[in-house]
Chain A
Amino acid sequence: MKTKIAVLFILITHCFLLTTLNAQRVTGTVYERNEAGKKSALVGVNVFWSGTSLATITDSVGKFNIARSAKSNVLVLSYIGFKTDSIKVTSESNFEIVMKPQGQLGEVIVRATSTQIDRLNPIQTEIITTKALAKAACCNLSESFETNASVSVSYSDAVTGAKQIQFLGLGGQYVQTNVENVPTIRGLASTFGMNYIPGTWIQSIDVAKGAGSVVNGYESLTGAINVELVKPDAREKMYFNAYVNHLGRGELNLNINRKLSEKWSTGFLTHVSTLQNRIDHNGDGFMDLPLYTQFNGINRWQYKSDKIMVQFGVKALAENRIGGQIGFYPSEHRGTAKFYGFGNQTNRIELFSKTAKLYQDQPYKGLGLILNASQHNTDSYFGFANYDGRQRTLYGNLIYQSIISNTNHQFKTGLSYLLDDYRETYKDSLMTRTESVPGAFFEYTFNHLEKFTLVAGLRADYNNLFGAFVTPRLHARWQLLEHTALRISAGRGQRTPNAFAENYGYLVSGRAVRFWGGRINPEVSWNYGISLTQTFHWFDKHWDVVVDYYRTNFQNQLIADTDHATPLASHLYFYNLKGKSYSNSFQVELNTLLSKRTEVKLAYRLFDVWQTMGQPANDVRLMQRMMIPRERILFNIGYTLPYDKWKADLTFQWNGKARINDPMKSLQATVDRKPMPILYSQSFININGQVSRAFKKFEVYLGGENLANFKQMNPIIHAEDPFSKYFDAGQTWGPVVGRVIYAGIRIKVKD
């Protein structure tokens, strides 16, 4: 028993070591088949990576959770009285294994379920695997959350195609979006950044709710999303994907991975996509979708030995977008009042490196260094208004991890540095900002068996513009009962907002943009969360229920106020919060396997989000946050045959009403000397479905989005007069185009 416990501790330590550098884990459940042919969980099965000391045992419900090993991809399962089994682990991360008694036939069922709750992680974390990503076309990150209950993607406006996620009742800017633990979609990239990570590049996505770990910084106000990309030493040597939809959007993706020697490998991830078809199905004279062309690529090199792991590479992106009235051609009409046009050209280049020193005989110890440099240029025009932005960023994070006397007490500590240099012009005003933020952090983790885990983190940073600040975070997980786990979290977050990049959709309007009051200060919030995970058996099936509640209180927030209009202008005011601003998020999620091949998810979510607004108009009130649907229901059913020969998936979403506004009605209220009207959108249903068939060398898929064909009526206010003061294309709460049918092919070459 002692050795088992020791082994377990080594595992837990190792898990935490790897979360820093690579959040990937392998989880699974081990069963035996009893005489009645029913599966029952096997407790205490040894699970280890072949040829390594990295090991764990299954828990009381037969589950295991083990960090991926750099040295081995063969997972061995052994148990007295049973035949020793081994599985080769590639991109899958969840397994169900039925062990056979000795002397009988061995059988391994590899069935990766799509969304996983990370069971041992004290931070409530959902893992979206490639399996879930394959449920939809998942052209890019913004489309990868279709079957996820916690994250939803909103349509920000009817012209630019910018998409923002909603998480815990707040916008995507409050979630720290990392790519392999490097903060990536932030600053000016937050406008279109979700479209910059093609789905075929993604290996898995971790979604952590609540204030995250201090190791990755202070900017995760409501949560952290970490995207792991396909690795250069992946088993898939080549992956090609072609996608086309009936509106004329086409995409090509090609990933190539090469192992150059035992230690070196290199990978290319490439993407090109375009839409050149002018569509106006709703007849408002505006293109329903912007025309665009994107070129995007990564080249990465990896060196792996027993002592050190090094990765470095370069990412480059160029994207061009054109939107506006259907007759708008930039070369002829830009800067004229003949047609209203929108355009954006984004160029981005990024250099990155990660180095990890490994200690073979001390798996709990590690030293890692992440370095990143990027330049982001974005040039846009909205009718006559020009907006240009440039951001240069340097980021470094040095992390050391070890234990205090034994593996019950672990810590991570380190130093970080962030340099953000912004230069933005909107119409005639120039805004520059250079932030230099050195920081230090310490995070202590206490483990008591698997029953209780506590993570206490503290970081101190000094911002040259806004001064020093301290970020405390606390997470705990109790295994209350055998099948019940409780998690709590609390923590502070801070970020400097970028008014234009984060409210880009509102710029497609006749609104007069004003910064009201003093300088815009950093946004500061405290987030508190509680969640309960329960598993149970009912009707011979295994069920998972997750109930969670999160509350975010803002001490300061950038308020984007579009409620007011006068006979002189309709307004977009930016100002600092004075008073209360908070968000309550409540969610229940139920998952089950109806049969070996049918997976079902049902979730309900309630957002209750309020902000104190109206300072510039001297009409200070607590108002519901704009564009956030109060309620949402998600239902997903997926059916899969062995080896994915046939796969069918159906997602049903009901989105409740959100607060919106209309500059014409605001004007009317001002003229009539009445209070500002409170307007709501409609609720609507969105249905997506996909069927795919795998053949030996390739896979084809056919799917549909928005199958119920719901369209928002008049997504553009005053579309007939786009150069007027009351024109507004930023009030989009639902789909602008109707049903979309798509088809595609995936070709994978392994080994």
Chain B
Amino acid sequence: MKQLTFVFALILGVVFSSTANKPSKDKEVKIKTSAVCEMCKERIEKNLTLSKGITEAVLNLEDKVVTVKYNPKKTDETQIRKVITDTGYDADNLQCSQTAHDKLPSCCQKTAESHAH
């Protein structure tokens, strides 16, 4: 029974420490991207969310601005922009990585955007 309690405590600990860690100290930054569609949105949000120090990323396709919440101790805006350019998209005035951009499906590339508009 002792073991059982221990295991319970351990797992609940893991669950809640991962929740409890993040609040308050987070900073927020808004970055304009060259996202085109839902797939782009998912790709950028996912790559940002899964990067070190970032807790949340929400991209609005209407104005292509991604709102990123991050822990300033673990990352900074330069690194966040680099994640976006490495994913194949422009970040504010930074150009996307050409190799990453060329690997995107044709519908997500910048040329697709210019056709659409």
Contacts and interface: CB of A to CB of B under 8 A. Distances in A.
A648 interface: yes
B105 interface: yes
Interface stretch (A102-110, A309-317, A482-490, A521-529): A102-110
B42 A88 contact: yes
21 contacts: A88-B39, A88-B42, A105-B60, A106-B60, A106-B61, A107-B60, A110-B42, A597-B19, A637-B15, A639-B19, A641-B49, A643-B49, A645-B49, A648-B11, A648-B18, A650-B11, A689-B7, A707-B4, A708-B4, A709-B3, A751-B104
Contacts of B18: 639, 641, 646, 648
Contact of A642 (B3, B7, B49, B62): B49
A279 B44 CA distance: 47
A234 B105 CA distance: 15
Contact of A650 (B15, B60, B105): B15
Interface string B28-59: 00000000001100100111011100001010
B38 A687 contact: no
A696 B47 contact: yes
Contacts of A685: 4
Given A643-B49, A709-B3, A689 B38 contact: no
Contacts of B19: 597, 639
B14 interface: yes
A597 B56 CA distance: 13
B105 A751 contact: yes
A560 to B, nearest CB: 35
Contacts of A691: 14
A88 B41 CA distance: 11
A643 B46 contact: yes
Contact of B38 (A86, A637, A641, A645): A86
A643 B62 contact: no
B15 A707 contact: no
A745 interface: no
A238 interface: no
Nearest to A88: B38
Scoring B4, B15, B49, B60 by chain A CB atoms within 10 A of each residue's CB, the highest score goes to B15
B4 to A, nearest CB: 5
Nearest to B51: A696
Nearest to B4: A708
B17 to A, nearest CB: 10
Interface in B1-35: 3-4, 7-8, 11-12, 14-15, 18-19
Given A87-B38, A709-B3, A639 B49 contact: no
Contacts of A105: 60, 62
A707 B5 CA distance: 10
Contacts of B56: 642
Given A643-B45, A751-B105, A687 B58 contact: no
A633 B18 CA distance: 28
Contacts of A61: none
Interface of A: 74, 86-88, 105-108, 110, 597, 637, 639, 641-643, 645-646, 648, 650, 685, 687, 689, 691, 694-696, 704, 707-709, 751
Contacts of B50: 643, 645, 694-696
A548 to B, nearest CB: 30
Contacts of A704: 7
A685 B38 CA distance: 45
B7 A708 contact: yes
Nearest to A694: B50
Nearest to A646: B18
A105 B66 CA distance: 12
A533 B51 CA distance: 41
A703 to B, nearest CB: 10
Nearest to A642: B49
A106 B58 contact: no
Contacts of B45: 642-643
Given A86-B38, A641-B18, A643-B49, A689 B11 contact: yes
A30 to B, nearest CB: 16
A251 B99 CA distance: 34
Nearest to B46: A643
A689 B46 CA distance: 25
Contacts of A650: 11-12, 15
A685 B7 CA distance: 13
B56 to A, nearest CB: 6
Contact of A687 (B4, B47, B51, B62): B4
Contacts of A696: 46-47, 50-51
A646 B20 CA distance: 13
Most chain A CB within a 10 A radius of its CB, from B7, B47, B61, B104 = B7
A66 B46 CA distance: 26
B20 to A, nearest CB: 12
Given A643-B45, A648-B14, A687-B7, 19 more contacts: A88-B38, A88-B39, A106-B60, A107-B58, A110-B42, A639-B15, A639-B18, A642-B56, A643-B46, A643-B50, A645-B49, A687-B8, A695-B50, A704-B7, A707-B7, A708-B4, A709-B3, A751-B104, A751-B105
Contact of B3 (A689, A695, A708): A708
A110 B14 CA distance: 24
Nearest to A698: B50
Contacts of A689: 7, 11
Interface in B38-94: 38-39, 42, 45-47, 49-51, 56, 58, 60-62
Contacts of A641: 18, 49
A233 B104 CA distance: 18
Contacts of B3: 708-709
Contacts of A88: 38-39, 42
Nearest to B104: A751
Contacts of B4: 685, 687, 707-708
The 5 closest A-B pairs by CB, nearest first: A707-B7, A643-B49, A648-B15, A689-B11, A646-B18
Contacts of B14: 648, 691
Nearest to A74: B38
A96 B47 CA distance: 21
A23 B56 CA distance: 35
